[in-house]
Amino acid sequence: MITTGQKIATQRVERSRLNETDLDNIKFGRVFSDHMVVMDYEDGAWKAPNIVPFGDLELSPAALVLHYSQTIFEGLKAYRMPDGGVSIFRPQANIARMNRSAKRMCMPEIPEDIFLDAMTELVRLDKDWLPKGDEASLYIRPFLFASDEYIGVKPSDNYKFIIFTCPVRAYYSEPVRVKIEMDYSRAFPGGTGEAKCGGNYAGGLYPAKLGQEQGFHQLIWTDGLTHQYIEESGTMNVFFNIEGTLITPALDGTILHGITRDSLIRVAKDEGIRVEERRVSVEEVVSAARNGRLHSAFGAGTAATIAHISKLAFGDEEFNLPAVEDRKIANQVGKRLDDIRRGRVADPYGWVVPVV
Ligand code: COI
C-alpha cells in the first residue's frame, strides 16, 4: 500500500459534481472526476505539484503545443478490489513509458516518485468516482504539453503536466470490424510510432474516417514502407490466434510498447499458451483467415483491454471470425488479466498497486 500522506497541496472543490453524475450511464472519456493534478515546468525545473478542481485552462493562443504538437499522454486504470480498496494497475510501467515518450519528443522527464505520489493522491481523493460493476474502472489520463507563448519551431522552455481521471465502463460495446490499411500509415522507421504523442493519433483520424465510411470501426495499420507487415489495430496493439499460437508484431520502433500487450503476453505464457512476438505479414494473416486457421484476432489496449475483431477485410475480401464465445485463448487470457487487476486472484507479478 502506498501511503504518501497529504504531501500534495490540495484545493478541494466546494461542491462535488458526483451526486449529479449518473455513473451507471457514462460514455468513455466524457465524464471527469472532481480534481486534477497540475505541475509546471519553468526555468529548467519542476515546480511543486498541486491538486485543484478539474476545470478549464488558461492558455495563450501562441502556446507552442497548439501549433507543433509537442505533447504526450498516458492512459492507465484504477480498479476496485473485492475488499473495497482501490488499486492502480502497473503505474510504474506507464510512468516509465511516459518518460521515454518525453525523451523522444524533446520534453523534460517527470520525476517518477512525484508522478506516482501525485497520481496516488488524486485517485484517493476522487475514489468515490470509481463506478461499481464488472467492467468499471477509473481511467487515469496524465499528459504533458509545451506551454511556451512562442511560435518559433523549437522545444518549449515551459511545460504543463496534468493528471485527471474519468469514471469509465466498456470502451467498445461490440466486437469491431477492421480493414487492413494498404495506403495510409501510422508510423515509419525513425518516426514517433512508439512514443505516445498526440500527433500519432491525429494522423490516424483521416484514414480511420475513410474506413468508417466503408463500414469499418478501425484500421489494421501496416508498416509505412511496404505495407506488407502488420503493426497495430486502431489505437491498440494487435494479436492473432493462428492455430492456437498467439502472434503479435514485435516492438520494432514503430509500435507502441503497450502495457496491456505486455501483460497479456506474460499471462498467456504463464497459462502455457504459445506466444510469438515477431514480424507478422499481411500475407500470413490473410491466408490463415482464408483457410480457417485464424481462430481470433483482437486489439489490446488499456481503454478496451481486449477489443475482439469480428470481421477482417483485405481489399475486396472479407473474413468473418469465430464468435466471441468460441475464442478460448483470447477469453482465457483476458479473464486471467482481469481477475489479477481486480484482485479476484493473487497477483504473482507485483502489478497491482493498492492506494486506498
Ligand atoms: C488505449 O487503447 O488505451 C488507447 O491508447 C486508446 C486511448 C487513446 C483512448
Using the mean position of ligand 1's atoms as its centre, give its distance from the Cα of residue 235 in Å. Answer: 6
* Chain centroid to CA 25: 22
Q: Could you write out the DSSP letters of every residue in 11-44?
A: ---SS-SGGG--TTS--TTS---SEEEEEEEETT
Please indicate whether residue 198, judged by its CB atom, sits closer than 6 Å to ligand 1.
no
The domain 9-170 is placed in CATH, from the list 3.10.310.30, 3.20.20.60, 3.40.190.10, 3.30.470.10, at 3.30.470.10
| C-beta of 75 in contact with ligand 1 (< 6 A) | yes
Q: How far is CA 144 from CA 108, 148, 198, in A?
A: 9, 13, 10
Asked whether 333 lines ligand 1 (CB < 6 A), one says no
Measured distance CA(321)–CA(238) in Å, rounded? 15
CA 176/CA 21 separation, integer angstroms:
29
How does pLDDT run along the chain (356 residues), one tens digit per residue?
555 555 799 999 999 999 999 999 999 999 999 999 999 999 999 999 999 999 999 999 999 999 999 999 999 999 999 999 999 999 999 999 999 999 999 999 999 999 999 999 999 999 999 999 989 999 999 999 999 999 999 999 999 999 999 999 988 778 999 999 999 999 999 999 999 999 999 999 999 999 999 999 999 999 999 999 999 999 999 999 999 999 999 999 999 999 999 999 999 999 999 999 999 999 999 999 999 999 999 999 999 899 999 999 999 999 999 999 999 999 999 999 999 999 999 999 999 999 99
Mutate to test the pocket of ligand 1, among 141, 232, 236 (most ligand atoms within 8 A of CB): 236
Give residue limits of the domains in the chain. 9-170, 176-341
Residue 10 CB neighbours (<10 A) = 15
The answer as to CATH 3.30.70.20 being correct for domain 176-341 is no
Q: d(Cα 138, Cα 167) in Å, to the nearest integer?
A: 5
Residue 337's H or E segment, with its range, is: helix 328-341
Identify the sign of the CA torsion 52, 56, 59, 64. Answer: positive
**What pTM was computed for the model?**
0.96
